[in-house]
Amino acid sequence: MRRSFLRMLFLVMAVLIVCGCSTFASKPPRFQRLYCWGIARGEENTRKFAEIGVTDIRVITQKDYDLAVKYGMTPYCGTFLPVGPYPQVITKEEAAYRDYVKGKDLDKALPKEERAKILLQRKLEKGYRYGGEPDNGAMNVMTFDTPCFNSDENYAMSKKKIDEILANAIPGVKGIYFDGIGYTNLHGCYCEKCLRDYKAFLERNKLDDTQANKDLFYRELLVNYFNAMIDYVKEKRPDFKVLAHYWPTFQPDPLFANRTKVDYCGQTVAWYFQWPLDKVANYTKYVLKHEKKYHSNSEGIPFVGLNAKQGEALAYKPPEQLERELQTILAAGGRTLLVCNGHDMIKPGFYEVFKKYCSPSN
């Protein structure tokens, strides 16, 4: 009888284990950490961020900080963007593109609505991608100037800007965001110093003057600037984590950013404009596979661009497309996510998608 009891107990345990394993196996993967490029502003919005699974967010005021902590989020201080008196130099053709997209030729007395309509049409006409990868390698030039990354004065002013951000940071924040660090034309800067140093780079490395070698030089300048600013943050605040969204894209090598020393390396796998899902999958796999290739402390974070407002040159992304992208990133192995625009994440339709795949309660 004892043997029969033991046999029955074994069968029951086996069934429970199998059922448990089946339930576990059928449970779809979810994002474990959600970085929001938004602000914990107001009780209702912050609560909604928490409900969709946001774990990391920026704070500006003490109230923002208190709300983030209340809802279990890791708070970061403001965003660092490069500064300095010497802007990058672009070609005449690139400058003409930028002036056209900005409407530099338009009459200043033009009514605001009419001007906006013209600028919308021009951006659509030129396939303007707001710093993301342009279609088929087409020209795209940012509408604002970015400081040169090869200037001692710009370096010094950028460090001073970091000092200001850190000095004004709410006590208790855990890190800082980096953004807007890239080339105005998505390729390089053609000021006298950059051109002179490029020539020296070729001579030093015994290289020919080719586009590939030019790309190597400008990628090195970009990486060196990032690393210098990251090092400076760590020097001032060794406890701080640095999260960077690498934008605007470096067109010759869009996924270069694992070369930087950043803690959380946000590389774009799905831009605001809809990309083919196989590209989303391939970029996600690359970001994850190579996250520690150069720096063991760096974690690769897939970035998704989101605009919930229709009728703009910045593409509208419907909730259905967002869901397909999140499913693709998860299937490719992604378990962390960085999203901008943050305020769009909690709008109807989008809120439900993030809650479905990111909320820990689901």
CB 225 within 8 A of CB 104: no
Record: fold of 30-84+149-185+212-358 = TIM Barrel (3.20.20)
Task: Please give the helix or strand (H or E) that residue 264 lies within, else none.
Answer: strand 264-270
Residue 182 makes CB contacts below 8 A (sequence gap 6+) with 131, 142, 146, 222, 246, 247, 248, 249, 250
d(C-alpha 358, C-alpha 51), whole Å: 9
Domain boundaries, the chain: 30-84+149-185+212-358
- Give the per-residue pLDDT at 141: 98
pLDDT tens digit at each of 362 positions of the chain:
555 544 554 554 554 444 555 444 457 899 999 999 999 999 999 999 999 999 999 999 999 999 999 999 999 998 999 999 999 999 999 999 999 999 999 999 999 999 999 999 999 999 999 999 998 889 999 999 999 999 999 999 999 999 999 999 999 999 999 999 999 999 999 999 999 999 999 999 999 999 999 999 999 999 999 999 999 999 999 999 999 999 999 999 999 999 999 999 999 999 999 999 999 999 999 999 999 999 999 999 999 999 999 999 999 999 999 999 999 999 999 999 999 999 999 999 999 999 999 988 77
Task: With both helix axes pointing from N to C terminus, report the angle between 43-51 and 62-70 in degrees, rounded to the nearest 10.
Answer: 40
Residue 290 makes CB contacts below 8 A (sequence gap 6+) with: 255, 258, 300
Residue 8 is predicted with a pLDDT of: 53
Confidence (pLDDT) at 137: 86
Distances (CA, A) of 200 to 152, 188, 196, 203, 206: 18, 16, 6, 5, 10
